[in-house]
Structure 1
Amino acid sequence: MDKWEMYMEIQQLLKQGFSKTKIAEKLGVSRTTVHRRLKKSPSEMSDWIESLETRKKLLDPHKELILSWLRQHPDMSAAQVLDWLQEKYGDFEIGESTVRSYVKGLREEYKIEKVTLPRSYEAIPDPSMGEQLQVDFGHTKQDTIDNKEVKLSFIAFVMSHSRYKYTEWLDRPFTTQDVIKAHENAFNWFGGMTNEIVYDQDSLMVVSENGGDLILTKEFQYYRESRGINLRVCRKADPESKGRIENVVGFVKKNFAKHRVFHHIDSWNEQNWQWLNRTGNYKIHNTIKKRPAEVFLLEKQHLKPVSTEINISNNYDTSISRHVHKDNTIRYQSNRYSLPLGTFNKREKVCVKETEDKQLIVYIPETGEIIAKHSIPDGKGLLIKDRKHSRDRNKGVDAFIETVALKFEDKELAYQYINKVREKYPRYIKDQLQIILRDTKETSSGLLAKALEECVKRRLYSATDFSDIVAYLKRQRPLHDTTEDKEIKPVNHSGWVLETEAYKRKLDTYTELLEGDY
């Protein structure tokens, strides 16, 4: 409804006996607007509307430029229009509300509709100053000056308290070395580092959650220890724990990168850092209602200093990693290869190696344990499956606990131990139970009972610790002895250090094996 139609509607409703408050509610306007309209006579209203149509607006000199942007990019936001104007005219000082009203008027006048897809997040309290930094990756496709398309990748950092940001771009996929270098650049940008850094489950940094005991890539583990980073990794589909960085990734895509033409990666990064100073860190944040750059001046005082130089050009062993899919398979050279049941529940990544005789070896990178071997076929699009990788039917957590507990002689003690593990790893209990169940399948009941007693005695409520105890007891017990229990000596190194000698078989054993049918 235009201004004249609204004026006539107000007059009509007033004659029908509606109060000014009711008129405002009916028309969806404020009472102040109704009061202002009623103060004008029909002739005054007509003159006022005519003056609005001829009155020059602050943004009229840029009208054709803004129109060209809106016509070319109908989903462009008023905030991005303001940023582009500030980028084009360094001394541009018109307020955002003015730009928003002007863009809205142009859309109505020239029928340029905008479709928005809002996303909601649950509000959580802000960490204290200097406490947390969140990190994530993003990807965009940009038009180039020669009308081609290039895929760009970026890594984003944001201070959880002040919302102060840093981003860095590459025109190729990131490697672990690139990630480490970006961290150093970010610490230099911030002037320090936080007590905690929160990451998503990216394969450049995290190999596996391992039931809650994180396993990092070799390169990033070395960097973490060298720099003294206290990290936390978010579980997938958990936006509440990393909502701030997800908002930053979206903001970078929609406000900085959207519709921007790519020339060269160096100039692109320069534009990116200028955008951070001009808009990304200067614009008033919608949640904290303050400028991140101003809040960061206070937060910066709470950061830990980063003074030690780190050599980030180390040459690490390069491994070929593959993502484990939900059906417990990996992809390699256009074929699918099966893995043991439950692999997907225990880890996100495995490493593969192709031998000279066309065998595919699948192994755990941190231990070197081989979990699958397959012959590599000549065709493509095939499923290569080992019959040993049989299917199991998962039950609920309580039923799963009962299944595992029944594997022990002292079921009551087993229930107590598993419940303690569940309290410590509530989100990883299925992963923990899978590890324990795996050990029960390959271990005698007497040895399981001894391992359980030692774990309870030493308060080692972790499946990985239980597995280490079982392995230790197996190595301490000779193969021909199934009764004697040896005393376990605690060593302060990840719970247990296995200092044993390999069991030596008699020569007759190997002779019998060689005489068999193989």
Structure 2
Amino acid sequence: MENRIHSIILPKINREEKMVERKMYQRIQDLKRQGYGKIAISRELKVDPATVRKYFHMRPKEYQQYQREVLQREKIFDKLEGEILEIYRENNNQRLNMSAVYDYLEEKLKTFPGGEKSLRNYIHYLEASGELKYSDKIRVYKKVPELPYGKQMQLDFGEYLTRSRIKLYIFAILLSASRYKYISFQDKPFKTIDVILHLLDAFDYFRGYAEELVIDQDSLMVANENYGEIIFTKKFEDFIKEMGIKMYVCRKADPESKGKIENLVKYVKYNFLSVRDFESVEEAKESLRKWLNRRANGKISQATKKVPAIAIEEERIYLKPIKNSIFRKGAHLGREERVVSEKGFIMIEGKEYSVPIEYRLKGVEFYKTEREIYIFNKRSGEEIAKYVTLKGTAKRARRSEHFRYKSFNLKEIETKVFSMFDDEGWKEFVYQTKKAYPRYCRDQYTLALKVFSSLEDPGIFQMALDYCLDNKTFGMKVLYDTYKHYLKEHKEEQEIIFNAFKGITSLEDIPEVEVSKRSVDEYAALVKKGGVK
């Protein structure tokens, strides 16, 4: 009998041929014993008739011999046998994802003797030879219908302890339709602000974000559940309102709602982390970045039959555009520059916002969200002003404290004011104002710097100054009101003259123009009432 077995000619082995597994061989033989013919077995098992013909008459020992010949054909990996077995020993000989082993060796060796399929066959050979022994535990769930592009993203967390005893906290999010993934590590437990900042980084990576975010009832985001009503933590609620994200909160380990992301966390653990070790979280993040681009997003998804890195290009059309967030205002990303006007304002989308007066004619940075605007010192990065974004017809937002020169001492401000005009009359007016308002010198000087730094008509200002000196009416508000009154009157006179000469072509047609005049007593009466209106 033994001689007979060896005398049988076994099928010729093709290197690209795929041998059926032992279970399939046994099922073919079982059906044969039950009286099934080759065609009936082919229909019952839904396999090619040629495959049935090949194994129909093959006896068990013949199958074992054939199996050994097929498994031994991948001898190109013999020189890596020790390294492959070491990977499994380092992981307590647990069953590893073969793609993970291949990916790890590919990354480590740079050049590889064969493809992933060849490595799989070689690992099967190691299993059959008794070098590797392990068992599988497979959990099966009902398939969830696929969602349209831009509809949903799923978020979950995980933990992993490396062989070097580094505890990695895993943040994982994917777009449900394209299966495009973003993963990050940190070496400390997550706080709510960490989750928010990781989400913003993910949105940058995706170049947008989906309408809905699926999470479980994690205390980082969910504070309580009241008869089905989800109450989010304060920071996370502010974030989702700011971004306009719809939330779907499911129970933990709910595969029907959140199976994709839970599979991703397992994928990170068993495909990436299980065969690697790191000296620091920075090293882990750098290796993760390469793996994410090459493997997690670069290989065909078994669920969609598409490469996520390609599918994302279509999904990006449907994603919501990235917004600036108040939670990222401290970062330089998203800031814009402005030069402060002479009057101490910057213009943002047609609206004016005041800044401290010492920044006049200097560059500043601002960061705008839908609800708020933050203004920063360009050099130090210090926040110098904050506003609720102006809406509707409002054109200007002004803070009185911005015009008090807080960064200068009183003597410095006084020197600035005295030197504004090279005129003895001005210096006398400033001196007398200081005497009249000794407790309010800073306010007086601040007003002067604000309203007299840029004059529409210096000649009219000189008239107003002379009037106030002659009438001993001191104070910057009085001088400013007098100047504005003179300026208004001057413009009215100019308009009268212009209208009188309108349409005249010869000197004979010039009419006599009588300009109204006011007595000095009228101005004095206005000043005594507290200033010219």
TM-score, length basis structure 2:
0.50
Q: 1:121 offset after TM fit, Å?
A: 2.0
AA of the residue aligned to 1:105 = Y
1:473 corresponds to: none
Is 2:258 aligned against 1:242?
yes
AA of the residue aligned to 2:83 = L
Is residue 104–residue 276 contact of structure 2 (8 Å, CA) maintained in 1? no
Q: 1:229 offset after TM fit, Å?
A: 2.1
Find 1:128's aligned residue among 125, 130, 148: 148
Find 1:67's aligned residue among 85, 90, 93: 85
Find 1:153's aligned residue among 166, 169, 173: 169
Is residue 192–residue 221 contact of structure 2 (8 Å, CA) maintained in 1? yes
Q: Aligned partners of 1:167, 1:64: CA distance in 2, in Å?
A: 32
Q: Aligned partners of 1:26, 1:103: CA distance in 2, in Å?
A: 30
Is residue 177–residue 312 contact of structure 1 (8 Å, CA) maintained in 2? no
Structure-2 change in CA distance of 1:7 and 1:69 (3 Å): farther
Q: 1:94 offset after TM fit, Å?
A: 4.0
Is 2:316 aligned against 1:300?
yes
Counterparts of 1:196-215 in structure 2, within 5 Å, are 196-215=212-231
Report Cα offsets for 1:17-54 as digits up to 9, x if no partner: 996568999999975356457999xxx99999997687
Is residue 76–residue 113 contact of structure 2 (8 Å, CA) maintained in 1? no
Q: Aligned partners of 2:154, 2:89: CA distance in 1, in Å?
A: 36
Q: Aligned partners of 1:72, 1:313: CA distance in 2, in Å?
A: 44
Is residue 201–residue 234 contact of structure 1 (8 Å, CA) maintained in 2? yes
TM-score, length basis structure 1:
0.51
Is residue 166–residue 186 contact of structure 1 (8 Å, CA) maintained in 2? yes
Report Cα offsets for 1:478-516 as digits up to 9, x if no partner: xxxxxxxxxxxxxxxxxxxxxxxxxxxxxxxxxxxxxxx
Deviates more, 1:51-60 or 1:74-83: 51-60
Counterparts of 1:80-479 in structure 2, within 5 Å, are 80-92=100-112, 94-144=114-164, 149-236=165-252, 238-312=254-328
AA of the residue aligned to 1:161 = A
AA of the residue aligned to 1:103 = I
Is residue 71–residue 112 contact of structure 1 (8 Å, CA) maintained in 2? no
Q: 1:126 offset after TM fit, Å?
A: 1.2
Taking only the aligned residue pairs, the percentage that are identical comes to 37
Runs of 4+ aligned structure 1 residues displaced above 6 Å come to: 4-10, 22-30, 37-40, 44-54
Q: Aligned partners of 2:48, 2:113: CA distance in 1, in Å?
A: 29
Structure-2 change in CA distance of 1:27 and 1:268 (3 Å): same
Report Cα offsets for 1:75-94 as digits up to 9, x if no partner: 22212111112211335484
Counterpart of 1:286 in 2: which secondary structure? coil
Structure 2 portions without partners, runs of 5+: 11-24, 331-533
Is residue 7–residue 37 contact of structure 1 (8 Å, CA) maintained in 2? no
AA of the residue aligned to 2:132 = I
Q: 1:241 offset after TM fit, Å?
A: 0.8
Q: Aligned partners of 1:49, 1:184: CA distance in 2, in Å?
A: 52
Counterpart of 1:154 in 2: which secondary structure? strand
Q: Aligned partners of 1:47, 1:127: CA distance in 2, in Å?
A: 48
Structure-2 change in CA distance of 1:66 and 1:131 (3 Å): same
Structure-2 change in CA distance of 1:291 and 1:46 (3 Å): closer
Counterpart of 1:134 in 2: which secondary structure? strand
Is residue 177–residue 313 contact of structure 1 (8 Å, CA) maintained in 2? no
Q: 1:228 offset after TM fit, Å?
A: 2.3
Is residue 152–residue 212 contact of structure 2 (8 Å, CA) maintained in 1? yes
Structure 1 portions without partners, runs of 5+: 315-518
Is residue 74–residue 121 contact of structure 2 (8 Å, CA) maintained in 1? no
2:502 corresponds to: none
Coordinate RMSD, CA, aligned? 4.0
Deviates more, 1:84-93 or 1:251-260: 84-93
Q: Aligned partners of 1:118, 1:159: CA distance in 2, in Å?
A: 25
Aligned length: 303
Q: Aligned partners of 1:312, 1:261: CA distance in 2, in Å?
A: 32
Q: 1:120 offset after TM fit, Å?
A: 1.7
Counterpart of 2:162 in 1: which secondary structure? strand
